[in-house]
Amino acid sequence: VGTIFLGVVLMNFLVVHRASLLNFYYLPVLVTGLFLGLRSSLAASLLSVGFVSLFNAIDPTRFALEATAAESWGTIALWGCFLVLTSLVVGTLHERNVDRHAQLRQAYLGTLEILTKYLESGGEHALGHSTRVSHLATDVARRLGLSDERIENCRVAGLLHDVGRVEIAGDLEGRSDLSDAEREALEPYSQRGARMIDALGEMFRDVVPIIEYHQDPYAEDGRVNEYVPIEAHIVAAADTFDQIVSGGPRRAGNPPDVALAELEKWSGSQYSPSVVEAIKRTVPRSVPRAPVRVPA
């Protein structure tokens, strides 16, 4: 913005028909209003009016606006009013957009909380699983140097990665005597979950492919799918790690070393080697303990 403003000021000394330059002063005002808000936009407009007034006072013929000095000042005053008005309008629109973004953010967090509670209502063994996966995935993404936006996507995907299981959790989840057809019904839960999240719209757009591919981020022949985001590999490894450590309704949990050994065993064929290494460096600090259930 400062560069734009400086360029406009310098053009006063380079352009012959300087009256046309008055329109260029709208540029820094619009840019500051769109990106920095009302105060910055208003300051830019007042600064522009000040510079133009100074130039006109030094050389009344600089802008060649009117025949007399009084008419020239009147034109500058009218132009200045429109410039300030423009800054107020654009800056106000920016502030409203910021407020709307904050409201959408609040709705986003509320929706996420509801979905997580809905997800973990599928059974006692699911309690806390999504939260733990989310914590681990977030820490691993941060350790891998992902951007803040992608770290947030890992956090959200960790919370919602099992949402596709909820529809069948009551009937099939946790049973050891599943038929082949029932086992097949469990397989595509990640795709079912991705469709459910995709139906929520733009809010979770970047999370959908993570949920869709986290169940099987590698191709059937063990090769890396280039279109699968690294976030899906992160959630896949974090999910497996927590399942092994936390156990289930019919199996006891295992020490972290057992889970790490399992990840290393399938590193490069089911889990990303870089993600496995990041988990090994992250686990001692980030893995929350599974909740202890005290008998009533």
Own/partner pairs, 277-285, CB within 8 angstroms, 24+ separation: 278/140, 278/143, 278/144, 278/234, 279/136, 279/140, 279/237, 279/238, 279/241, 281/143, 282/136, 282/139, 282/140, 282/143, 283/136, 283/241, 283/256, 285/139
Torsion of CA 143, 148, 152, 158, to 10 degrees: -20
Identify any residues that bridge with 164 across adjacent strands, giving them in sequence order. Answer: none
Q: Which two tokens stand for residue 187?
A: 């397989």
Closest by alpha carbon to 149, among 239, 35, 227, 231? 231
pLDDT for residue 134: 92
Helix (H, G, I), strand (E, B) or coil at 224: strand
Closest by alpha carbon to 23, among 75, 93, 91? 75
The whole-angstrom separation of Cα 285 and Cα 139 is 9
CA 212: distance to chain centroid?
A: 18
pLDDT for residue 292: 40
Task: Give the total residue count for the chain.
Answer: 296
Query: CA 69, 75, 77: angle at the middle one, nearest 5?
Result: 100
Residues 228/209, Cβ–Cβ less than 8 Å: yes
| pLDDT tens over the chain, length 296 residues | 555 555 555 555 555 455 667 777 888 888 888 888 888 889 988 988 888 888 778 777 666 555 677 777 877 888 889 999 999 999 999 999 888 888 887 887 777 777 777 766 655 556 788 889 999 999 999 999 999 999 999 999 998 888 777 655 455 555 555 555 555 555 567 777 788 887 777 778 889 999 888 877 776 655 667 788 999 999 999 999 998 988 766 667 788 898 999 999 988 888 999 999 999 999 874 555 444 443 33
Residues 6+ apart with CB under 8 A from 82: none
The whole-angstrom separation of Cα 17 and Cα 20 is 6
The whole-angstrom separation of Cα 161 and Cα 213 is 10
Residues 6+ apart with CB under 8 A from 178: 172, 186
The whole-angstrom separation of Cα 76 and Cα 163 is 62
Distances in whole angstroms, Cα of residue 224 to Cα of each of 95, 153, 216, 271, 293: 45, 21, 10, 10, 40
The whole-angstrom separation of Cα 196 and Cα 230 is 21
